[in-house]
Amino acid sequence: MESEENPMLAKSLKNYLDERNIKYVTLTHSPAYTAQEVAHSAHIPGGRLAKTVMVIIDGALAMAVLPANRRVQIQDLQELTGCVNVRLAHEGEFKNVFPDCETGAMPPFGNLYQMPVFCSPELTAGADIVFNAGSHTELIRMAWHDYQSLVQPQVAQFAM
């Protein structure tokens, strides 16, 4: 894990994007830990910043990606997946899964970590997507169509 004094893009994400010649911009901001703080620090509206919320669906980790100013509706994820056992994950249940990321700053690339990704449709409305890059001081902005083609998230309504 990178120290907070020397933030860096998650190596697995950087390599993945660079190997595929994906265009992206790295945005640096002052340290922030909640999605709303990140949005404020980076001068991005909360509705345009994608946050990654870790959930456990029938015992397996998954990513719920939604605007920073929204919240996961567990009941909606239950209906979407057809699973009864759906809950928010505790930090201790996922922090070791992302060895190249600061805890809570995981990029929404579940495909790099062998887990499904559910994405709120509000994030598909813009030409680009902005998200944590693996540290509490960096974001990535990239084209939505590139993100969608790489991650292939299941787009569905589960946020309020």
Q: Tell me the per-residue pLDDT of 108-132, one tens digit each, with 9 for 90 and over.
A: 999 999 999 999 999 998 899 999 9
Q: What is the pLDDT of residue 7?
A: 44
Q: Which two tokens stand for residue 152?
A: 């292939």
Answer whether residue 3 is part of any domain: no
The DSSP-derived string for the chain is ---TTS----HHHHHHHHHTT--EEEEE-S---SHHHHHHHTT--TTTEEEEEEEEETTEEEEEEEETT--B-HHHHHHHHT-S-EEEPPHHHHGGG-TTS-TT---S-GGGGT--EEE-GGGGSSSEEEEE-SSTTEEEEEEHHHHHHHH--EE---B-
Q: What is the pLDDT of residue 8?
A: 60
Answer whether residue 25 is part of any domain: yes
pLDDT at 2 over 60: no
- pLDDT bin (cut points 50, 70, 90) of residue 10 is confident
pLDDT at 3 over 70: no
Mean pLDDT across the chain = 90
- pLDDT bin (cut points 50, 70, 90) of residue 6 is very low
Answer whether residue 4 is part of any domain: no
Answer whether residue 2 is part of any domain: no
CA distance 40 to 36: 6
Answer whether residue 136 is part of any domain: yes
- pLDDT bin (cut points 50, 70, 90) of residue 11 is confident
Q: What is the pLDDT of residue 73?
A: 96
Distances (CA, A) of 48 to 66, 74, 80: 9, 22, 23
CA distance 130 to 20: 18
Query: Does 76 or 30 have the greater pLDDT score?
Result: 76
* Percent of the chain surpassing pLDDT 90: 72
Answer whether residue 27 is part of any domain: yes
The predicted model scores a pTM of: 0.91
Q: Tell me the per-residue pLDDT of 69-87, one tens digit each, with 9 for 90 and over.
A: 999 999 999 999 999 999 9
Q: Number of structural domains, the chain?
A: 1
CATH number at 116 reads: 3.90.960.10
